[in-house]
Chains A and B, each alone.
Chain A
Amino acid sequence: MADTIVIEVARYSPESDARPHFQKYEVPLRGDWMVLDALNYIKDKLDGSLTYRWSCRMGICGSCGMVVNGYERLTCETLLAQFAPGPVRVEPLRHFPIARDLVIDMTDFLEKLTRVKPWIVRKDKTPPPREYLQTPEQLATFKQYSNCINCMLCYSACPVYGIDPHFVGPAALALAERYNLDSRDQGLGDRLDVLSQHDGIWDCTVIGECSEVCPKEVDPSLAIQEFKLTATKEWYKSFLMPWGGK
């Protein structure tokens, strides 16, 4: 194995560049390094202006999602050596405005997340002074969706979001379904109102890229199909029982 590898990093400054360009750096090729370690090496030793997000370096904070050699990944858990002899191409996530270099602007997601009401909705105003009982089986119905770390890899991989930025998108829909399936929640009706609109769930064409790239084995594609089914059932119910099927 060679002892160095070339990294081609997308650079873009809103102050001076009309469009992104690539810059090459040569970094040590170490067996235990992740792609993030290579970026940190560049930042610390070669070029202090390289701009990217990172924090926990243990795959849980969701900051360091990028496109590495054409594929969405968390760079803190992507081994560098697998790309030897290189070069390795590192780009910002797709479909988002670029704030600078590898940093995308994810304001849109936060607005969408809020829109799907990702919290427990209850009809009783005062919660009980004890826990809501929930069996391990009930927990298991939504648990995988609650593992979403909001890393945005799925939005970058989603061709529908690429074409229609109004699409609510995989992570927000998975989190909506996480609450819909939670035995403690009574907010399905509220969420249906939002998500049954045309740019809610119906845009999804079941390509499944979102579930492919998810680093936490969340299955947003499944969430969206489950939700479509529920929405259809509720729609029929509203005809059969117009006084309130929800």
Chain B
Amino acid sequence: METSSHDILLVGGGGAALRAAIAVSEINPKLSVAVVSKVYPMRSHTVSAEGGAAGVIGEDDTLDEHAYDTISGGDWLSDQDCVEIFVNEIPKELLRLENWGCPWSRRDDGKVAVRPFGGMKKMRTWFAADKTGFHMLHTLFQTSLRYPLTRYDETFVTKLMVEGDRVCGVVAIELKTGKVRVITAKAVIICTGGCGRVFPYTTNANICTGDGMALAYRASAPLKDMEMVQYHPTGLPFTGILITEASRAEGGLLVNKDGYRYLQDYDLGKPQKEPVFRSMELGPRDRLSQAFVKEMEKGRTIKGPYGDVVHLDLRHLGEEKINAKLPMVRELCVKYENIDPVHQMIPVRPVQHYMMGGVHTDTSGATPLKGLYAAGEAACVSLNGANRLGSNSLSEILVFGARAGRAAAEYASQVAMPSANPVLALGSDEERRIETEYLRKTGGSEKISTLREAMQHTMEAGAGIYRTRASLAEAAGKIAEMQERYKAISMEDHSLAFNTQLVAALELGFLLDVAETILQCALQREESRGAHQRTDFPDRDDKKFLAHSLVSRSTDGRPVVSYLPVTITRWPPGKRVYGEQSTDGGHDSH
């Protein structure tokens, strides 16, 4: 067991973590900051984000319009104080990224270019071709190399240590050697991203296993709005690889098996030749994914080897525009589907993409557990409500990564380092658990991959785009069984060096806990709002559910759900209107 200590520890190394780490160093360079991540930071899933990052920059745009789009997009489950902070701070954050060298796409006059995006009424999405997340992550990572950060690369956190009422660090496994590290910290910031691997078809990378959500939940910090799972309407069928919404913002069309732009049948406006803001293909993701299911039920989708698909048609954009604005889309289609979008239509289907829910935090990233902070997709600061708008999440990691970093820095400057003895005791307990339950374990009967696949298909069937009490209850029963079966997993790999089977086993444990919280929150929210659609409760119910689900682990290990009112400042709940009518959408808000 190796020990070390830092003032502030980031768990995760993606965009939110790196932005937070830099923020800490800037506000108080004397603080010792460390980043512990199970992959090298530039491998983090921020790298896969394609379309862009939203922030008001145009002369004809206003902060209020960005706020209104976000709030109506989230079906009024966003906390409006949080949204106001966000729209206000993001332009400055995006400019900082520019100053740090992010290769934003430009207009001819040298200013940063913006593009339209789904659910947004104005052009405000900054982009770096269609590799925005990649460029943001590498800019942040390369910039972070100037700062005196300690990095624990490829180090997997297994436990959040809590002593008394405060967080005091983490226990982690250094993958290369298998060594257990006990890292003491005054404050821990969870930036571990999403949990898409709970589902079988997801745009998420293999590493998106809800680690931070489960770590916080096990340490008694509540999770929030876990039923709010976003499906992206355009993923590739076998791999789940994301075809960015920017492809529709640039003019791509969604058509059914008859070549018909079916979105016009689902209250999303009338088809026009050019893209129209908040209309048709530029509607919000929840509505587009739901329209796909309805279209499939009508028998108007296309049968493919991996289930039903519709077509995304980019051919009319021409080779030049596709190469300039959507080079990665073309590259992905050629490599993974053997299709050239310049000449052929792309088969797409909705796939799990993003978690609106996560570790419950306030607007400075603080959780109710002292010393614990969270930011990015792992967190739920209540920006995205019941449905996130495309290009708000790359922005979210900057604003709330920085805020969490600053808040943690302030806290860490005021408190003493946790005392060593209880930390060491917690560390050796965890080391023993890893050894007995995993590393030295013999004779299990359950294969990790079998159990993982069973969980994923259970979640898709029970808690997919449309849900019912029956589907959710059945899934919850199965997941509870799987929690039992998990105790009997078989471990073939007993070595210390780079034990990826150990990692997979621990990740599966995290995933099962997260799956349980998703199902419980979804079961108890008896209404339909945004991405949470209950066919047995098809309407939004503001009387009962203008509230966040908070799920905590009870002493017997079961999830318990309670509610927290949504913060409304200036935009009382209204009807979500998309299509032509929505061109004056902002006005009903004042």
B110, CB-defined interface residue at 8 Å: yes
Q: Is A169 an interface residue (CB 8 A)?
A: no
- Fill in one digit per residue for B85-103: 1 if any A CB lies within 8 Å of its CB, else 0: 0000000000110111101
CB of B582 closer than 8 Å to a CB of A: no
B495-508 near A? 1/0 per residue, CB < 8 Å: 11111110010000
How far, in whole Å, are A182 and B104 apart by their CA atoms in the complex?
12
A119 engages B205 (CB within 8 Å): no
Contact count A vs B, C-beta below 8 Å: 155
Partner of A56, one of B48, B331, B493, B495: B48
Please tell me if B534 contacts chain A, counting CB pairs below 8 Å: no
| Interface residue ranges of A103-131 to B (CB < 8 Å) | 103, 105-106, 110, 113-114, 117-120, 127-131
Task: Provide the residues of chain B in CB contact with A191, threshold 8 Å.
Answer: none
Complex CA gap A227/B365 in Å reads 44
Q: Is A210's CB within 8 Å of the partner chain B? A: no
A58, CB-defined interface residue at 8 Å: yes
Which of chain B's residues 98-136 have a Cβ closer than 8 Å to chain A? 98-101, 103-112, 131, 134-135
Contacts of A186-221 to chain B: CB distance below 8 A: none
Tell whether A103 pairs with B100 under 8 Å between CB atoms, given A58-B336, A63-B43, A119-B142: no
Whether the Cβ atoms of B131 and A147 lie closer than 8 Å is yes
* Chain A residue nearest in CB terms to B134: A60
Q: Is A57 an interface residue (CB 8 A)?
A: yes
Chain A residues contacting B95 (CB-CB under 8 Å) are 129-131
Q: Is the CB of A56 within 8 A of B205?
A: yes
Q: Interface residues of A toward B: which range?
A: 35 or more
**In angstroms, how far is the closest chain A Cβ from the Cβ of B101?**
4
A45 within 8 A of B: yes
B581 at the interface (CB under 8 A from A): no
Query: How near does chain A come to B163, taking the closest CB pair, in angstroms?
Result: 33
- Whether the Cβ atoms of A119 and B100 lie closer than 8 Å is yes
Query: A118 touching B142 by the CB < 8 A rule?
Result: yes
A51 touches B500 (CB 8 A): yes
Tell whether A77 pairs with B335 under 8 Å between CB atoms, given A58-B48, A135-B110: yes
Q: Answer whether residue B562 sits at the interface, using C-beta atoms and an 8 A cutoff.
A: no
Q: Are A55 and B206 in contact (CB under 8 A)?
A: yes
Tell whether A114 pairs with B145 under 8 Å between CB atoms, given A15-B495, A58-B241: yes
Question: What is the CA–CA distance of A110 and B43 in the complex, to the nearest angstrom?
Answer: 13
Bound-complex Cα distance A99 to B495 (A): 12
**Do residues B449 and A45 form an inter-chain contact, with CB atoms below 8 A?**
yes
B residues within 8 A CB of A130? 95
Interface residues of B in 486-538 (CB under 8 A from A): 491-493, 495-501, 504
Which B residues are in CB contact (< 8 Å) with A230?
A: none
Contact B131 A60 (CB under 8 A): yes
0/1 interface trace, chain B 557-580, chain A, CB 8 Å (1 if under): 000000000000000000000000
- Cross-chain contact of A55 among B43, B238, B497 (Cβ < 8 A): B43
Residues B109 and A48 in contact, CB atoms below 8 Å apart: no
- A51 near B48: Cβ-Cβ < 8 Å: no
**Chain B binder among A2-10, A138-146, A235-243:** A138-146
Tell whether, in the assembled complex, residue B48 and residue A61 are in contact, meaning their CB atoms are under 8 Å apart. yes
A150 at the interface (CB under 8 A from B): yes
B138: Cβ under 8 A from any A Cβ: yes
B99 adjacent to A127 (CB under 8 Å) = yes
Residues on B with beta carbons closer than 8 Å to the beta carbon of A118: 142, 145
Q: B501 contacts which chain A residues (CB < 8 A)?
A: 48-49
The CA-CA distance from A99 to B107 in the complex, in Å, is 46
Which single member of A49, A57, A146, A182 contacts B241 (CB below 8 Å)? Answer: A57
Q: Are B112 and A131 neighbours in the complex by a CB distance under 8 Å? A: yes
Contact (Cβ within 8 A) B111 A61: no
Specify the chain A residue showing the minimal Cβ separation from B146. Answer: A119
Contact of B205 among A51, A52, A57, A127 (CB under 8 A): A57
The residues of A that contact B491 with a CB separation of less than 8 Å are 48
Q: B449's closest neighbor in chain A, by CB?
A: A44
* Residue from A60, A105, A175, A179 whose CB has the most chain B CB atoms within 10 Å: A60
Which of B100, B242, B332, B498 has the most CB atoms of chain A within a 10 A radius of its CB? B498
Contact B100 A120 (CB under 8 A): yes
Contacts of A164 in B (CB 8 A): none
Taken together as a complex, chains A and B put the C-alpha atoms of A206 and B108 apart, in Å, by 35
Interface positions, chain A 36-65, Cβ under 8 Å from B, are 43-45, 47-49, 51-63
B213 within 8 A of A: no
Q: Which residues of A contact B17 (CB under 8 A)?
A: none
Please give, as numbers and ranges, the residues of chain A lying within 8 Å of B432 by CB-CB distance.
none
* B45 interfacial contact with A, CB 8 Å: yes
Known A55-B207, A135-B108, A135-B110; judge A119-B47 contact (CB<8 A): no
Asked, given contacts A118-B145, A131-B98, A175-B142, whether A99 binds B497 with beta carbons under 8 Å apart, the answer is: yes
How far does the Cβ of B581 sit from chain A's closest Cβ, in whole Å? 35
State A24–B104 Cα separation when bound (angstroms). Answer: 46
**In the complex the two chains form, is B47's CB within 8 Å of A120's CB?**
no
**Which residue on chain B has the smallest CB distance to residue A150?**
B42
B554 within 8 A of A: no
Interface residue B176 (Cβ < 8 Å from any Cβ of A): yes
A55 to B497, CA, bound (A): 19
B310 touches A (CB below 8 Å): no
Closest to B57 in A: A131
- A55 cross-chain contacts in B, Cβ below 8 A: 39, 43, 45, 205-207
Tell which of B105, B111, B205 has the most Cβ of chain A within 10 Å.
B205
30 inter-chain pairs at a CB distance below 8 angstroms, sorted by A residue, are A32-B238, A44-B449, A49-B492, A49-B501, A51-B499, A51-B500, A55-B43, A57-B205, A57-B239, A61-B39, A61-B48, A62-B47, A63-B39, A99-B176, A101-B498, A103-B498, A110-B153, A118-B145, A119-B101, A119-B142, A119-B146, A128-B99, A131-B104, A132-B98, A134-B110, A139-B106, A146-B103, A150-B42, A150-B138, A182-B101
User: CB within 8 Å of A: which residues of B?
Assistant: 39-40, 42-45, 47-48, 95-96, 98-101, 103-112, 131, 134-135, 138, 142-143, 145-146, 153, 176, 205-207, 238-239, 241-242, 328, 331-332, 335-336, 447-449, 491-493, 495-501, 504
Extra pairs beyond A55-B205, A128-B99, A182-B101 (9, CB < 8 Å) = A44-B447, A45-B449, A56-B48, A58-B48, A58-B241, A129-B95, A131-B111, A139-B105, A175-B142
Among all A-B residue pairs, the 6 with the closest Cβ atoms: A133-B110, A44-B449, A49-B493, A127-B99, A118-B142, A100-B498
